[in-house]
Structure 1
Amino acid sequence: MEFESAVFDFSYLAAIALGSEMSGGIQDVRAEDITAINTESGVRIKTAPGRGAFVKDIYVKGVRMNTMKYVFWMSGAYGSHPDNGYDPKALPVIRNINYRDMVAQNVTIAGNLAGINGDPFTEICISNATIEMRKESKKLPWNCTDISGVTSRVSPQPCGLLPDQKPSSDCAFPNDRLAIDDVPLKICSGGSSYI
């Protein structure tokens, strides 16, 4: 079997995406040491009224990104529902979202964080994040509505809804070991491979 090289376009995807389907809730997610190149967003959380459930206790650190539209993207107006039988009064809970030690280059918008009017996304924390904006970017680096939280050592300076905490400190990241941390990595090599 013969293969030619292929180029894949990931410019419409997120490196990490949570939602919009979350009927059972999304909780206690840890992500670290990730490299993302040419994606639409680095970290994406998407939901809407009628989704209900929750996204909470999310911990992301050590992400390196290059060439993307958004580093942080949260939407409370995703608008997609699997059928017409959903309860429009079922509001999701989005809270305790932590990002730290992030570096991004060639970015159009640092953050587009839009919660839900009357149901804001809360306890957002961003620390030690350096975002290099695309030279030709003319938009504001941050767009924030219906959110609350804090930042520390973030450049460019985030929106007023994410004030700089004094004294500076890092966002939370659990330090307990997970079972996956003890799985030995095995490296295999061989002469031929078959698909």
Structure 2
Amino acid sequence: MLVPLLLLLALSNALEIIGEESDGHCSDQLILNPRPHSVSILEFGAVGDGKTLNTIAFQNAIFYLKSFADKGGAQLYVPSGRWLTGSFNLTSNLTLFLERGAVILGSQDPSHWETVDPLPSYGRGIELPGRRYQSLINGYMLYDVVITGDNGTIDGQGSVWWDWFSSHSLNYSRPHLVEFISSNYIVVSNLTFLNAPAYNIHPVYCSYVHVQNISVYAPPESPYTVGIVPDSSDNVCIEDCSISMGYDAISLKSGWDEYGIAYGRPTTNVHIKQVHLQSSSGSSLAFGSEMSGGISNVRVEKVHLYNSFNGIEFRTTRGRGGYIKEIIISDVEMAKVYMAFGATGQCGTHPDDSFDPNALPILDSITLQNVIGTNITIAGSFIGIQDSPFTSICLSNITLSITSGSPTSWVCSNILGFSESVFPEPCPDLEISYTNSSQACFSLINPNGKSAVL
């Protein structure tokens, strides 16, 4: 089947899209280039009836397209239909294109999902010791991969996984929808993601990842479902996305306790902008709690957080090690959020008993500015670690409308910070004026308001 020329022109080369974004900023406009070779999944015997299992068709198509990697790459075109499949692997210099009306369905039979070793920076599966289910769509040590379309859909059909998780019936940790490991120049755009078993998009040990113009949804009751999870990855751009999840919408991570410390790869140079985030039981935007490799140089701007348990939360605990630092979050609108800001040093479990209780995490240089919130119950809770207090928590130009009958506006301990033009008035640990400590608060920001470190 020949793919229309118009669709070929919509295919993009990831190297051209983000290859020059060494500062971690999102590009203003994607530059689209055609792939010179294209095939349809129909050519490999796939049937889009929502019942026929197409795993072998996807595997055979990608094996065939692998031969074009050194000839400018290729695209796999998925037309309108419901394409049931188990897990499959991508290849380098590839575009996976989903036409409008195309739905890739994850099989609800766990035997159709491979199992793989745990990630080295975690040491075990996140939910259960040992191996884990491989994600639906996978990339390992790849280069220049695009997953895009004309608003096609990837549906994990996760309800059975949620039931198995809640009933403790799983033998391995749940799979994700899309996972790239140790890969560079990755683009995910113009798609809808539904009902992931756990995470939706999980780049881990990756560089130059661009996620743009996607919609992500899982129902409020879905347990610990998460939207986008940059994990021990750098130069990540997330923009123009709408995400509504059972747990976290966007969560930055970098490994778990002694395994993350040993692997030693941080998440750094991340830019998130113009996103709409909703979280039913977790946080719209979360940092950690698995952050043992470190998280730094993150810029978040022009975001809308709504109908969420927590708005922005920093999570860690004794034994994590690592750091969360040099974070700038600005131009935020919140509506109907229980707790606007949170930072806790008592969050999360440990993978095993081998963690070092003396591995104290550092949380430092966090700037929150230009925030308007309505229908907020608690303004903020900042609970640091006695032996490693949270430092340089900088608040500026924040106005939160607190719901009537709220028990308290701020809760603070073991933190040191600064504030200016904040309502309601923060706790004493945050009341030192910017004018006395401007260097600590604004060292990350140059005179035009832009981040100096991203």
TM-score > 0.5 by shorter chain: yes
Do the aligned partners of residues 62 and 166 (structure 1) sit closer, same or farther apart at CA in structure 2, a change above 3 Å counting? closer
Unaligned 5+ segments in structure 2 are: 1-80, 82-100, 102-216, 221-278
| 1:111 corresponds to | 380
Q: 2:412 aligned with 1:151, yes or no?
A: no
2:408 pairs with 114, 119, 140, which one? 140
- The AA in structure 2 aligned to 1:146 is N
Whose helix fraction is larger, Structure 1's or Structure 2's?
A: 2
| 1:120 corresponds to | 389
Whose strand fraction is larger, Structure 1's or Structure 2's?
A: 1
1:21 pairs with 258, 278, 290, which one? 290
After superposition, residues 1-195 of structure 1 pair within 5 angstroms as 8-9=219-220, 10-137=279-406, 139-165=407-433, 167=435, 172=442, 174=445, 175=450
1:23 CA displacement? 1.9
Q: Distance in 1 between matches of 2:453 and 2:393?
A: 24
**Structure 1 residues 29-78: Cα deviation after superposition (integer angstroms, max 9, x where no partner):** 11000001111111100000000010000000001001111111000011
1:80 CA displacement? 1.4
Do the aligned partners of residues 38 and 161 (structure 1) sit closer, same or farther apart at CA in structure 2, a change above 3 Å counting? same
Q: Distance in 2 between matches of 1:90 and 1:177?
A: 30
Q: Calculate the TM-score normalised by the size of structure 1.
A: 0.82
Q: Distance in 1 between matches of 2:409 and 2:453?
A: 36
Partner of 2:312: helix, strand, or coil?
strand
Do the aligned partners of residues 48 and 150 (structure 1) sit closer, same or farther apart at CA in structure 2, a change above 3 Å counting? same
State whether residues 11 and 68 of structure 1, in contact with CA within 8 Å, keep that contact through their aligned partners in structure 2. Answer: no
- The AA in structure 2 aligned to 1:12 is S
Which has the higher relative contact order, 1 or 2, with Cα contacts under 8 A spaced 6 or more apart? 1
Percent identity reads 36
Q: Distance in 1 between matches of 2:293 and 2:319?
A: 13
Do the aligned partners of residues 176 and 57 (structure 1) sit closer, same or farther apart at CA in structure 2, a change above 3 Å counting? closer
1:24 CA displacement? 1.0
Q: Distance in 2 between matches of 1:178 and 1:95?
A: 15
State whether residues 61 and 100 of structure 1, in contact with CA within 8 Å, keep that contact through their aligned partners in structure 2. Answer: yes
**Structure 1 residues 135-188: Cα deviation after superposition (integer angstroms, max 9, x where no partner):** 232x1100000000100000000000001416497x536425999xxxxxxxxx
| 2:112 corresponds to | none
Unaligned 5+ segments in structure 1 are: 180-195
Partner of 2:307: helix, strand, or coil?
strand
Q: Distance in 2 between matches of 1:164 and 1:148?
A: 9
State whether residues 297 and 453 of structure 2, in contact with CA within 8 Å, keep that contact through their aligned partners in structure 1. Answer: no
- The AA in structure 2 aligned to 1:121 is F
Q: Distance in 1 between matches of 2:287 and 2:385?
A: 16
**Structure 1 residues 57-104: Cα deviation after superposition (integer angstroms, max 9, x where no partner):** 000000100111111100001141222221111000110000000011
State whether residues 49 and 88 of structure 1, in contact with CA within 8 Å, keep that contact through their aligned partners in structure 2. Answer: yes
- The AA in structure 1 aligned to 2:296 is Q
Do the aligned partners of residues 87 and 15 (structure 1) sit closer, same or farther apart at CA in structure 2, a change above 3 Å counting? same
1:16 CA displacement? 1.1
- The AA in structure 2 aligned to 1:154 is V
Do the aligned partners of residues 130 and 79 (structure 1) sit closer, same or farther apart at CA in structure 2, a change above 3 Å counting? same
State whether residues 299 and 451 of structure 2, in contact with CA within 8 Å, keep that contact through their aligned partners in structure 1. Answer: no
Q: Distance in 2 between matches of 1:161 and 1:119?
A: 15
Q: Distance in 2 between matches of 1:150 and 1:23?
A: 26
Larger-Rg structure: 2
Q: How many residue pairs are counted as aligned between the two chains?
A: 176
Q: Calculate the TM-score normalised by the size of structure 2.
A: 0.36
- The AA in structure 2 aligned to 1:120 is P
Q: Distance in 1 between matches of 2:453 and 2:427?
A: 35
